[in-house]
A and B are shown apart, each in its own frame.
Chain A
Amino acid sequence: MNAARMAAMRYLLQRDGFALDVDVAIPLAGITGIFGPSGAGKTTLLRCIAGLERPATGRLVVAGETWQDGTRFRAVQERAIGYVFQEPRLFEHLDVRGNIEYGWRRRGNGRAQDVERIVALLGLERLLGRNAAELSGGEAQRVAIARALLRSPELVLMDEPLASLDRARRDEILPFLDRLHAESNVPILYVSHTIDEICRLCDHLLVMDAGRVVAEGELQSVLVRTDLPLMAGEDAGSVVECRVSGYDETDELLRLETSGGELLVPGKPRQTGTALRLRIRANDISICRARPEASTILNILPAVVDAIQPGEGSSGLVRLALGDDRVVARVTRRSIRELSLAPGDRVFAQIKSVAMRSRAER
């Protein structure tokens, strides 16, 4: 990829009991997820990029500009980043407007339309005059996101922005993040240890463990890395992009066109052509040698076995090619043996259920 649209970084940081050792380049486009267990170094990496940490060995080149190397270190306030912390960290002595305009005023080239646009994007119109200390957790985090965006950053860093919120508040914010993704082209680095959030929001994925980057690439291709223990756990699965091709009114089923064939999914009618992202969990796919004649499962697609990961315990993961897409299926090791599955075999994938995510829902 073009180096002008990348953020390339190299960090070596030694702390008691922890070492960050990262050498990676991230595309400055869309949302890049950083996934990994707690203690993997995700937050430390974001803090390094922001300049809040200053590791002995550090190099950071953002869109061709060197922010840090052996001799140079651009101060935090000189870096065009927007940082959304786990906690909102609002300034309680200011009202909501004062908070969101804090970084915008310090830009030097802020325009009033920018404020209006971001306020509308995050639905803050009615909160502007409120005191920052009076907001609910979800409202406060929306204000924090708006505040970071109005800094006009080249890169937004979000450190588990939903982790401190309960489920209802999380569901309140996620649609705003979807909108942000669809309507704004500012690149975002999104740290999370929830694979569902990653699958919903991200285009690109970086997996970290014990201070290192263990995998990095386009979202789907990393999700189906069944050789990675982190990707093979209970949450194993994949995402498939598709388009709405029709609606079956009698049975109230949406017709979805994927590269591997048509899927029928329960749901409300949607505009034909709407782009959707499907999340298909490994536990929801089973494999047949021959197309089942009579099955209650609606979605049976021809597939090719791509790779087999025996795994530990009774089950293993089988990676399947469905057209251009890759998905993973969790099956027992016994089934793998009895069907004598091997890479290259033509099989049928029975998909029990999928979760749908609109990419640009309003």
Chain B
Amino acid sequence: MSLGPLWLSVQLAALTTVVLVIAGTPLAWWLARTGSRVKPVVQSTVALPIVLPPTVLGFYLLILLGPNGAIGSWWVEVTGSALTFSFAGLVIASCVYSLPFVVQPLAAAFESVGDQRLEAARTLGAGPLDAFLSVALPLSLRGYLGAAVLSFAHTLGEFGVVLMVGGNIPGETRVISIAIYDQVETLNYAAAHRLSAILLVFAFAALLVMYLVNRRWQLR
């Protein structure tokens, strides 16, 4: 049994999580602290991937990332290769797909830090960035853990969006969920079992670690 698809999935999930945690932080910070009238619009947009069928999301991404799409054509100009049916395209698609799973826990964590401590930090000589790094960030570590675990696990289990945007190219876009589908299609149940079991155990372990750490933190 080839573990290539599993390894590809892990790479995709890890990269997506790193990108999302970094890019999601300013967005979540803004959502947690703004009183802007466009906030509900942004919130709804961020939450869309939770409710949309992955095929719908994948379809629009396929158009957007395709050689004639707004992002896809620019990418072709800059790199000379297409985004669709490539690993880079998968990373971008996964970032959109898992965005709410990072932004929502982070925004909730930032909200619970509140203005009070940040004001105290400011009066003690910390600029806005310093106050964020020295007070808001450490007080939001639980939110970051939750965001990272959810984003990783969610990206690992991604299927519909990958199929639409990435297709099924071994070593490039054939992730574990696609590989399982392939094995079932060819009635190779034993291989499908092994891959599925790996995914099941991994997903359970990731969630268990998150909840255990959360509990430890609460008990402290």
| A residues apposed to B, CB below 8 Å | 50, 52, 75-77, 79, 81-83, 85, 87, 89, 91-93, 102-103, 106-107, 147-148, 151
Contacts and interface: CB of A to CB of B under 8 A. Distances in A.
Interface of B: 116-117, 119-127, 130, 134-135, 138-139, 141
8 contacts: A52-B122, A76-B122, A76-B123, A81-B123, A83-B123, A87-B116, A89-B120, A92-B139
Given A91-B135, A92-B139, A77 B126 contact: yes
A103 B124 contact: yes
Given A85-B116, A89-B116, A92-B139, A106 B123 contact: no
Contacts of B124: 77, 102-103, 106, 147-148, 151
A52 B125 contact: no
B123 A82 contact: yes
Q: Which among B121, B130, B139, B141 has the greatest number of chain A C-beta atoms within 10 A? A: B121
A21 B168 CA distance: 70
A93 B117 CA distance: 11
A83 B120 CA distance: 7
A50 B123 contact: yes
Q: Which among B123, B135, B139 has the greatest number of chain A C-beta atoms within 10 A? A: B123
B110 to A, nearest CB: 14
A86 B170 CA distance: 62
Contacts of A91: 117, 120-121, 135, 139
Nearest to B119: A52
B50 to A, nearest CB: 30
A308 B123 CA distance: 45
A299 B123 CA distance: 48
A50 B138 CA distance: 25
B116 A52 contact: no
Q: Which among A50, A79, A93, A148 has the greatest number of chain B C-beta atoms within 10 A? A: A93
Give 7 nearest A-B pairs by CB, closest first.
A103-B124, A106-B125, A83-B123, A76-B122, A89-B120, A93-B138, A89-B116
A235 to B, nearest CB: 31
Q: Which among B116, B125, B134 has the greatest number of chain A C-beta atoms within 10 A? A: B125
A319 to B, nearest CB: 40
